[in-house]
Structure 1
Amino acid sequence: MNTFSRRTFIKAGAAGIAGMTMLGMPHIARAQGRTLRLSHHLAPDHLVDVASKRFGALVAEKTGGALSVEVFPAGQLAGLRQGAEAAQIGTVDFVWTDFGTLANWIKPMGFISLPFLFRDEAHALAVFKSEIGADLGTEMRDTLSLEALGYGIAGFRVMATRERAINEPADLAGLKVRVPEVPVYISAFNKLGANPTPMAWGEVYTALQTGVIDGVENPSEGLFVGKIQEVTGHASRTNHIMTDVNLVASAMAMDGLSAEEQAAVREAATIAVDEFNTGSIENGGKFWDELAAALQANAEPDRDAFREALVPVWEEMDAAADGDMRAWIDRVQAVS
């Protein structure tokens, strides 16, 4: 198996751009092309940002410069929820989002973020490549005016805390833990006895540094690239929720493209997201090791205790979705 890295990803993107130049594409033709905007909430060094630039290079290559993609990282245009809203109304062309966020508008979609739903990354990928992924895409298009271009696996979430080591749910009692503005995360950390505190990712570092919050949870890469190890003292590999991060397009933006341009965008997205998934899975352990080297780390907390404490979240979220989440859960669990 070939080793995947950011360097490989960046080289591939650069090669695409260089290829256009070598083909003798006139500069003026590129200048007259249409520029589309892509927003995401993660740091510029995050693999999502690298994948975004790779996607942009491929779009430019496959459309002969008729389309280009300008990438706005780190919430420059919008945060996680605001970016999804912007894509729905067409003020942003592409955005990386997750199903937990989309559950703000379609509650059953929150099933993807249920604690301990997925056995591992391979299981999650198999789910997204099954009819479940196709059905989710149809629901997104029909209800939210979003087109799913590719489903990404950003890894299982771990915890970083300022002063308290985390081994079991009781260790979280009373701690202010930053969570996304997503119902399932708020429910989960309430059940664990913490004080879940929704907050934009860009505010987390300072909030930890100043003691406004006591901890944060995220995939290892997000924590390390966000330099959270500089303002925390402990890490715990709880793996409590699998994080999806999906490249979606505004349906309005896609409808405004020619059939050939739409096909080019979809092909570019498939390549970029597949490469993202390869890199994300291969690098997940590496980033945990980086965190563990910088912090007092617990690689094997009592996950059974966390799993048991979070069982009521499934019932609560399904009830909030009027029982419509259960069928999705059953389908996921049936995927081998």
Structure 2
Amino acid sequence: MNTKTRAITGVLACSLAASVLAGCAAGASGGGQAGPVAKIQLSIPDPLTSSVGVSAQHFADQVKKTSNGSVAVTVVPNGTSFSGDQNAAVTRLQGGSLDALILSTSVYASVVPEMNAISIPYLFKDTKQEAAFLDGKPGQALKDKLAKKDTVALSFLTRTGREITNSVRPIEKPADLKGLKIRVPGNTLWTDFFGKLGASPTTMAFSEVFTGLQTGTIDGQENPIEVPWTNKFSEVQKYVSLTNHINDAWVLALSSKKWESLSADQQKALTDASAETSTFKTGYDAEQSKKQLDELAAKGMKTNEITATGLEEFKAASKSLYPEFSQLIGKEFFDQAIAFTTSS
């Protein structure tokens, strides 16, 4: 090999080495997805067509973008990964046998009693105030408490107010609930409140609610409007009363085990995606709830507002239970929740 050939060969070798190094640098800086993809199964209790289903898929899509493809989230709907047992799902998340989960704050209250503060009836003026509560110091305190239970709460997702459906009569004031068997979650706050209103609160697995309404085992149920819409309760219920009695929320969480298996960049990608999803869901629900209510009405359900007097009676019933709620939640956090909402 002559001198000129050796020189050309050397230049080509240097160029190739530089290209390889540049490619490595680009991969290291996030310009391309390197290494195995982290796979996360996100379990939800409802269908993909529900508000939480749409939001969960939105989160999965956002994670793909924010992680540059290094994290893949698969949504598992209808509670299939935990056989519909939501309390068991919370336990499995803590143990790490579930990767990620979106469930109601009322279910997480079984392990963090302070979660019940979100569900104090008529605590929030509107969803905007609830979002401020969840995004602020109270929400962070709840995340910290969940962290001690091996649960990494990425974000809270708001829900629209809970309404009452039944097959007996419109609900305009608490007295209209007297004697009605209303299905409620297995949570003391709900049973205390509906008992105070004169109803017969009945706990029942959600998977059994449609049949219970159909057979008359229960007269009604209470949930955000998307629940009777998604689950076709218009087939077995006559009335929907816009009581807006409770604004609970969802928790989007990962098990500590899965979280710790991720890189810092991947963790940030999930955090960023969850924050964006929280904003998305609040807007999505506001847009969809009126459409869903109109569709329920079109299918024969009669809709009514509660009277101004009735609203004050509902609020008074809640306030009369504050001593019980304080004990259930814990006085310190209960007082913080009341102080936050009365000053904002």
- Separation of aligned partners in 1, 2:68 and 2:328: 47
The residue type equivalent to 1:316 in the other structure is E
Contact 1:140/1:146 (CA < 8 Å) preserved in 2? yes
- Separation of aligned partners in 2, 1:331 and 1:309: 19
User: Displacement, 1:155?
Assistant: 0.6
Alignment-derived partner of residue 18 in structure 2: none
Alignment-derived partner of residue 88 in structure 2: 82
Alignment-derived partner of residue 211 in structure 2: 206
User: Displacement, 1:218?
Assistant: 0.4
Match of 1:323 among 316, 331, 341: 331
Q: How does 1:28-177 map to 2 (within 5 A)?
A: 33-78=37-82, 79-142=85-148, 144-177=149-182
Contact 1:109/1:325 (CA < 8 Å) preserved in 2? no
Contact 1:208/1:214 (CA < 8 Å) preserved in 2? yes
Q: How does 1:171-250 map to 2 (within 5 A)?
A: 171-250=176-255
Contact 2:182/2:200 (CA < 8 Å) preserved in 1? yes
Contact 1:168/1:305 (CA < 8 Å) preserved in 2? yes
The residue type equivalent to 1:333 in the other structure is T
Q: 1:61 to 1:329 in 2, by over 3 A?
A: closer
- Separation of aligned partners in 2, 1:286 and 1:62: 31
Contact 2:158/2:278 (CA < 8 Å) preserved in 1? no
User: Displacement, 1:49?
Assistant: 0.4
**TM-score scaled to structure 2, two decimals?**
0.83
User: Displacement, 1:322?
Assistant: 4.7
Secondary structure in structure 2 of the residue aligned to 1:109: helix
Contact 1:154/1:280 (CA < 8 Å) preserved in 2? yes
Alignment-derived partner of residue 294 in structure 2: 289
- Separation of aligned partners in 2, 1:60 and 1:175: 47
What are structure 1's unaligned runs of at least 5 residues? Answer: 1-24
- Separation of aligned partners in 1, 2:173 and 2:54: 35
What are structure 2's unaligned runs of at least 5 residues? Answer: 1-31
The residue type equivalent to 2:217 in the other structure is V
User: Displacement, 1:63?
Assistant: 3.0
Q: 1:101 to 1:312 in 2, by over 3 A?
A: farther
User: Displacement, 1:116?
Assistant: 0.4
Task: Note if 1:313 corresponds to 2:317.
Answer: no
Q: Tell me the alpha carbon deviations over residues 148-198 of structure 1, each in whole angstroms, 9 at most, x when there is no partner.
A: 211111110101002232222222222221111222112111111222222
Q: Tell me the alpha carbon deviations over residues 234-286 of structure 1, each in whole angstroms, 9 at most, x when there is no partner.
A: 11111110121121121221111111111111112122221111111233333
- Separation of aligned partners in 2, 1:80 and 1:335: 34
User: Displacement, 1:109?
Assistant: 2.4
- Separation of aligned partners in 2, 1:69 and 1:327: 38
Contact 2:165/2:221 (CA < 8 Å) preserved in 1? yes
- Separation of aligned partners in 1, 2:239 and 2:340: 33
Q: Tell me the alpha carbon deviations over residues 27-65 of structure 1, each in whole angstroms, 9 at most, x when there is no partner.
A: xx99x6332111111232111101111111222333343
- Separation of aligned partners in 1, 2:66 and 2:303: 45
Aligned length: 308
Q: Tell me the alpha carbon deviations over residues 52-101 of structure 1, each in whole angstroms, 9 at most, x when there is no partner.
A: 11111222333343321221112212343232222111111111123322
User: Displacement, 1:296?
Assistant: 1.7
Secondary structure in structure 2 of the residue aligned to 1:77: helix
Secondary structure in structure 2 of the residue aligned to 1:152: strand
Contact 2:172/2:305 (CA < 8 Å) preserved in 1? no
Q: Tell me the alpha carbon deviations over residues 211-237 of structure 1, each in whole angstroms, 9 at most, x when there is no partner.
A: 121100001112211111111011111
- Separation of aligned partners in 1, 2:122 and 2:250: 17
Q: 1:93 to 1:331 in 2, by over 3 A?
A: farther
Alignment-derived partner of residue 264 in structure 1: 269
- Separation of aligned partners in 1, 2:327 and 2:264: 41
Q: 1:335 to 1:74 in 2, by over 3 A?
A: farther
Secondary structure in structure 2 of the residue aligned to 1:187: helix
Query: What is the percent sequence identity of the aligned residues?
Result: 30
Secondary structure in structure 1 of the residue aligned to 2:198: coil
Contact 1:121/1:281 (CA < 8 Å) preserved in 2? no
Secondary structure in structure 2 of the residue aligned to 1:324: helix
The residue type equivalent to 1:217 in the other structure is E
**TM-score scaled to structure 1, two decimals?**
0.85
Secondary structure in structure 2 of the residue aligned to 1:245: strand
The residue type equivalent to 1:48 in the other structure is V
Task: Note if 1:299 corresponds to 2:305.
Answer: yes
The residue type equivalent to 2:324 in the other structure is E
Secondary structure in structure 2 of the residue aligned to 1:174: coil
